[in-house]
Chains A and B, each alone.
Chain A
Amino acid sequence: MREAQNETVLVRDPPWGLVGYVSSPAEIYHACEALRDAGYKRFDAYTPFPVHGLEKAMGLKPSRLPFIVFGAALTGATAALSMMIWMNVIDYPMNIGGKPYMTLPSYVPITFELTILFSAFAAFFGTWGLSGLPKYFDPVMQHPLFGRASDDLFFISVQSDDPNFDYHKTSSFLAGLGVKDVQEVQP
């Protein structure tokens, strides 16, 4: 579109987005609220620790992780019970001290343990799966100070594919929010 308007404008791909930082949790909370209220959707905050309540300021929905874990818990319980019943009751019943074969109480501990084990795996791998990790490269890393996002700075990014994104308007909006050193990064 740009190149159609004027031939002198440099032809190039749109940037991935804009990245800048603030230096306190209160500032990033404020900035996220402002972006949310301005109708932005594809923006993110990068913080050294989880800032309490930031998901509300960003307008994020709760994580879907609990549903995944619940499914895994049910799978674990079912797998444990069917394994034990099949092995000890159907495939090879062993008479040990005259104990009954089909005895649910003595199957409780292992059912419980495997329910926990499956849930823990789901919670662990679900976290990385839902977050798209491990990931080698993220465009935000191109900001020269981004290494401090794991130390003491609070970064904010707005992606160019957000419908509200406009290079100039968005950068001045961010600057107005007190976001420092706003830079464009490539995909």
Chain B
Amino acid sequence: MSALTHHAGPYDQAESLRDDPRERAPLVLGGKGFHDLSEQVSDIVERRMVKPWLLLLIAAISLFLVLQGSLAKLVAVGVGTWGNNHPVGWAWDITGFVFWIGIGHAGTLISAILFLFRQKWRTSINRAAEAMTLFAVACALIYPAFHIGRVWMAYYLFPLPNQMNMWVNFRSPLLWDVFAVNTYGTVSLLFWFLGLVPDLATLRDRATTKARQVAYGIFALGWRGSHRHWLTYEKAYLILAGISTPLVLSVHTIVSFDFATSVLPGWHTTIFPPYFVAGAVFSGFAMVNTLMILARRAYGLENLITVRHIENMNKIIMATGTMVGYAYGMEFFIAWYSGSSYEKYTFIARAFGPYAWAYWTMVTCNVLIPQLFWIQKVRRNILITFIISIFVNIGMWFERFVIIVTSLSRDFLPSSWGYFRPTIIDISTFTGTFGLFFTLFLLFIRYLPMIALSEVKGVLPAADPHGHAHGHDDHGHAAQEAAHHA
């Protein structure tokens, strides 16, 4: 148990793993009440700054400075500072873009799709996962913005009146991507902020300093928890979940269109949209696991993010990893079945050509290693889960690299074949995005409630107004009649 733990009551993790069909396993361990939860979650942002956090933040900011330096170099010198060149015109930049966008998808899956499926275990992890989505989208947006080279021309991407009197081309998948990713980032921000408001109100009401009171007070928007407000709020939550679900599926679908609508062998396939979406969810859950395993340990949140939560995520990782593996296999089948010699050659070159090392790294990390999750003991082992999540993160970066670079490096004309080598700026830019990501995530953990407090309170057994046998009506006809009458 960590030294930072203040509220670890006596509880047994095994309780969260109970599989009794007559009774649901508890989502919050240790018999916590409403006030205990407020204390435990608010304490993380209210306690004095701790050294390990500060050291991590300094490390993250240093990496972020590496990103800034790399981007400054790119703006000053030009896109040639990246290794992209004929024939590989898209390389680490788009790899990094798709990698980060994909990671974001797990946050939306947890906040929206699991909400629609009434998966109550999502409440302990959704806030942090949504934050992860936002920060991942921020990292992703850096790539297209700077790949332009002349970043001050970025407004060309939008349908704005400009000096050329020309409009953007709405028939281009790259423009669809601009709309998809920006919509995704905006909607994720609105959804996340909507969820935060009641918890910011809790922090405001608990504030002991004027600065906190004002800061949290402004962003809490004067939330008082009136049920008339909750009624609209819950409707908005449902609507946002409902529209985020097709949105998140559309985003990676459209990202895959960037490739699939071209005529390049290895890209021009109809399997791309579902395959990209499955891969996105796969990589995102791995990142959620990486972050949450560290956070629950550092802040003693094992009673809220139980082994059951981790196990559930591992099951999703295994399912989506298997889908991704199926897609890898199906690509080969279709390449053979298509009868196109270029298509066939691309896939043979992928697995046995100059990039075979990348291909087999991808297969090992994404298809083989997650299969260990068939074993219950592995799914429930936090350390092994953490290690596997790192493997998946690596594997999914390689997946995008393999798709993008192998297809481009050997196209129709052998005379124009080539081999891509990253430059130091390629490497420092990608490493630097982790600096941005972790800087934002560490600030989030420190200043905002990492656990969705009002939602976790709502899934406690004590939150059920019908939990104890009282003499009031049972949601039934009397109540409805009265509602109509009103």
Contact = CB atoms under 8 A, between A and B. Distances in A.
B274 to A, nearest CB: 16
A161 interface: no
Interface stretch (A10-18, A39-47, A168-176): A39-47
B3 interface: no
B132 interface: no
B254 interface: yes
B191 interface: yes
A56 B475 contact: yes
A26 B246 contact: no
Interface in B455-476: 455, 457-458, 462-468, 470-473, 475
A116 B243 CA distance: 6
Contacts, number: 242
A1 B198 CA distance: 41
B194 interface: yes
Contacts of A53: 465-466, 475, 479
Contact of B229 (A48, A96, A133, A151): A133
Given A56-B483, A127-B232, A44 B227 contact: yes
B202 A49 contact: no
Contact of A117 (B171, B187, B473): B187
Contact of A149 (B173, B176, B225, B458): B225
Given A26-B466, A113-B179, A147-B206, A133 B250 contact: no
Nearest to B190: A124
Contact of B232 (A112, A119, A130): A130
Nearest to A149: B225
B202 A151 contact: yes
B169 interface: yes
Given A59-B482, A110-B176, A51 B465 contact: yes
Contacts of A59: 482-483, 485-486
Nearest to A157: B226
Nearest to B457: A49
Nearest to A131: B229
B205 A147 contact: yes
A44 B230 CA distance: 11
Contacts of A55: 227, 231, 483
Contacts of B235: 62-63, 65-66, 127
A87 B222 contact: no
Of the listed residues B172, B198, B228, B240, the one surrounded by the most CB atoms of chain A closer than 10 A to its CB is B228
Contacts of B240: 120, 123-124
A60 B472 contact: no
Nearest to B232: A63
Nearest to B38: A151
B175 interface: yes
Contacts of A28: 465
Given A88-B167, A121-B190, A51 B486 contact: no
Given A110-B170, A123-B240, A148-B205, A26 B458 contact: no
A40 to B, nearest CB: 10
B227 A107 contact: no
Contacts of B193: 124
A140 interface: yes
B35 A152 contact: yes
Interface in B137-188: 159, 165-173, 175-176, 179-180, 183, 186-187
B222 A33 contact: no
B464 A131 contact: no
B224 interface: yes
B459 to A, nearest CB: 9
A24 B462 CA distance: 8
A25 B225 contact: no
Interface in B211-260: 221-236, 239-240, 243-244, 246-247, 250, 254, 257
The 5 closest A-B pairs by CB, nearest first: A59-B486, A135-B222, A29-B465, A152-B34, A87-B167
Interface of A: 24-26, 28-30, 33, 36-37, 41, 44-63, 65-66, 69, 83-84, 87-88, 91-92, 94, 96, 99, 103, 106-107, 109-110, 112-114, 116-117, 119-121, 123-124, 126-128, 130-131, 133-138, 140-141, 146-152, 155
30 contacts: A25-B467, A29-B472, A36-B486, A46-B227, A48-B38, A50-B230, A52-B458, A52-B464, A57-B479, A58-B227, A59-B482, A61-B483, A84-B170, A87-B159, A92-B165, A106-B170, A109-B257, A113-B250, A117-B186, A117-B187, A119-B243, A120-B240, A123-B239, A131-B229, A133-B222, A133-B229, A137-B222, A150-B223, A151-B34, A152-B35
